Amino acid sequence: DVMARDMGGGLEEMAVFDERANRMGVYGSPDARPTVAQVESFLQRLFGVLSMHAEAALIMLVYIDRIHEGGAIANGAAVLPQTWRRIVLGAMMAAAKVWEDLAVWNADFKHVEGLRPLTTCDLNELERSYLFMMDFNVNVKANAYAQCYFTVREFAITHNIEFHDMA
């Protein structure tokens, strides 16, 4: 149970993010470094099934940055080949519930292609762990959102990636 764990960022708490023990589906080896195409495919599947908007992706990035800056990642949940999908999924679950104007259930994430082995119980534990890592701070201030937006925009321009301004 997450509540009974050491909430000081210990390895026990972060184990929920390690795919070597918690496989997420039909993806390749959890120890192999992902390609850009694999990351893009994973994100497209998440966004596609849930019909999420681009703004939710920015919220997701703010959440990932928040746990990184808060030291949670440094204490055991580093973004590694074996943890990146579950860290992204946890951030996406939180972003979907905070940003989207729809009722999003954890069970909805089971319908993402390649994630079918996940159970609702597993997704609930992942969400709880992620929220603990963020100290339940799901608020995103305008300046944090704007900073993330302009960072992504600059990256897209620099790497000649199509970018649609959000109005």
Q: Give residue-wise pLDDT tens across range 22-52.
A: 777 656 667 788 888 888 888 888 887 777 7
pLDDT value, residue 151: 93
pLDDT digits (tens, 9 = 90+) for 114-152: 666 778 888 889 899 888 888 888 999 999 999 999 999
What are the pLDDT digits (tens) for 122-132? Answer: 888 989 988 88
Give the amino acid at 68.
H
Say which residue, 40 or 10, is predicted with more confidence: 40
Burial of 160 (0-12, 13-18, 19+ CB in 10 A): exposed
pLDDT at residue 9 tops 50: no
**pLDDT above 80: residue 11:** no
Which is more confident, 96 or 6?
A: 96
Q: Residue 119 — φ and ψ, nearest 5°?
A: -105, 165
Kindly state the tokens that stand for 146. 């704007």
Region of residue 51 (left: phi > 0; alpha: psi -120 to 50; beta: else) = left
Q: pLDDT per residue over 59-112, tens digit each?
A: 999 998 888 776 555 454 567 788 888 888 889 889 988 887 667 777 777 777
pLDDT attached to residue 8: 44
